[in-house]
Structure 1
Amino acid sequence: MKWVTIVLSVALLCFQYSLWFGKGSVGHMEELQEQLVLQTEKNQTLTLRNKFLAAEVDDLANGQEAIAEIARVELGYVQEGETYYRFIERNR
């Protein structure tokens, strides 16, 4: 009878060890919860970026204004009938 108590006590200790310190333990689950929160925030940021990029692609595909704006900013495009003014700052 004494050996049964010892075996059961050792089994209980092994289960308690895995509950508190092993894979899937309480501490491990808390780490996973923190990682889940961080990943959710990253996913929300990336989802917003993807929506912005999709809207920009749609605008470029369907609208001439976006193309003209990019040409103005990056290439210095001036449409017919427009006057171009360039302001240069003086170094003092």
Structure 2
Amino acid sequence: MWRPVFLIFLGVFGYLSYQLIYGEQGIKRQEALAKQIQYQENQNQRLSQRNDALRAQVENLRKGKDAIEERVRTELQYIKEGEVFYRIVDQ
């Protein structure tokens, strides 16, 4: 009499254990989601820092002519009147 009850109990216990570990809401799924969340938070932090740097750069360009002049000098090789430009070429 106890043997069928024990086997049913063992089967239900095995099924529930499997669902707890490998099921759709199981521990393995939670670990995978936690890793994805951590990766996304790191990605968001990196992008947030980049956005802050870009905002600061835009604000600097809006407020000061020195920043605009520096940018033109470095990117477009702008030379003021009266300055001498030297280019060093490696052989």
TM-superposed deviation, 1:16? 2.9
Aligned to 2:38: 37
State the secondary structure of the residue aligned to 1:48. helix
Superposed CA RMSD in Å reads 2.3
The percentage of aligned residue pairs carrying the same residue is 34
Corresponding residue for 2:72?
A: 71
For the residue of structure 2 that corresponds to 1:52, the secondary structure is helix
1:87 aligns with 2:84: no
Shift of 1:82: 2.3
- Normalising by structure 2, we get a TM-score of 0.76
- Deviation at residue 12 of structure 1 after TM alignment: 4.4
Aligned counterparts of 1:21 and 1:33: Cα–Cα separation in 2: 15
Deviation by residue 1:41-74 (Cα, 9 ceiling, x = unmatched): 1111111111111111111111112211221122
The gaps in structure 1 that reach 5 residues or longer are: none
| TM-score (norm. length: structure 1) | 0.75
